[in-house]
């Protein structure tokens, strides 16, 4: 995962705009400039990417994708998102948050039986999910796994996103629905 950028109101973020349609590019350029962003030509010189449509976010800059974006991107909004929504999503992603529209598609929005939960989650996410299933708080999970509270929160958010849930109870229920999930105790 990418590191969060230091975002404050006086910092102007550099955004690479990827929009194949010239009219759409003009509209999005105006949205970005009006919001105070600096437009750059290449992803390498950008803090963030705003992509209209297809974009492969793996190993690249944090991105907000408009339309049916890749679930691996930091942000995903509907193609008809407002200027305020785009601005808020870019600032949230720059701060290290994950932004999803309620209509966004991704692994959390497909039935879990289409893929094994062990393939969906990383080993550390499985550890965190197991601790959640044991009823541990974030603080206790941090102590048990010998990681920081911030790291626990990051993993919990990632588990929730990947499972398509909003609460710990929903995460436990989703995990129990999976015939492949087993919690191993040492």
Second-level CATH architecture of 14-100: 3-Layer(aba) Sandwich (3.40)
List where CATH 1.10.10.10 sits in the chain.
107-177
pLDDT digits (tens, 9 = 90+) for 105-163: 444 444 444 456 767 788 898 889 989 988 999 999 999 999 999 999 999 999 888 88
pTM: 0.52
pLDDT digits (tens, 9 = 90+) for 24-80: 889 999 999 999 999 998 888 889 988 887 766 655 678 888 886 666 678 888 888
Question: Which pLDDT score is estimated for 150?
Answer: 93
Question: Which pLDDT score is estimated for 62?
Answer: 86
Q: Which residues does 118 contact at the CB level (< 8 Å), separation at least 6?
A: 126, 180, 181
Class level of CATH domain 107-177: mainly alpha
115 touches 178 (CB < 8 A) = no
List where CATH 3.40.50.2300 sits in the chain.
14-100
Question: Which pLDDT score is estimated for 186?
Answer: 34
**Strand, coil or helix: what is 17?**
strand
């Amino acid at each position: 995962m990418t590191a969060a950028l230091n975002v404050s109101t006086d910092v102007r973020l550099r955004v690479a705009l990827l929009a194949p349609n010239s009219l759409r590019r003009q509209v999005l350029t105006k949205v970005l400039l009006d919001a105070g962003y600096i437009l750059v030509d290449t992803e390498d010189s950008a803090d963030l990417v705003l992509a209209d449509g297809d974009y492969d976010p793996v190993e690249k800059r944090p991105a907000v994708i408009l339309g049916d974006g890749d679930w691996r991107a930091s942000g995903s909004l509907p193609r008809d998102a407002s200027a305020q929504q785009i601005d808020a999503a870019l600032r949230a992603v720059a701060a290290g948050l994950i932004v999803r529209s309620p209509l966004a598609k991704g692994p959390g929005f497909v039935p879990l039986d289409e893929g094994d939960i062990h393939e969906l989650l990383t080993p550390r996410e499985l550890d965190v999910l197991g601790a959640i299933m044991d009823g541990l708080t974030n603080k206790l999970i941090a102590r048990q796994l010998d990681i920081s509270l911030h790291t626990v929160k990051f993993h919990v958010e990632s588990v929730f996103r990947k499972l398509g849930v909003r609460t710990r109870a929903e995460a436990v229920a989703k995990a129990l629905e999976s015939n492949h999930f087993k919690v191993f105790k040492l």
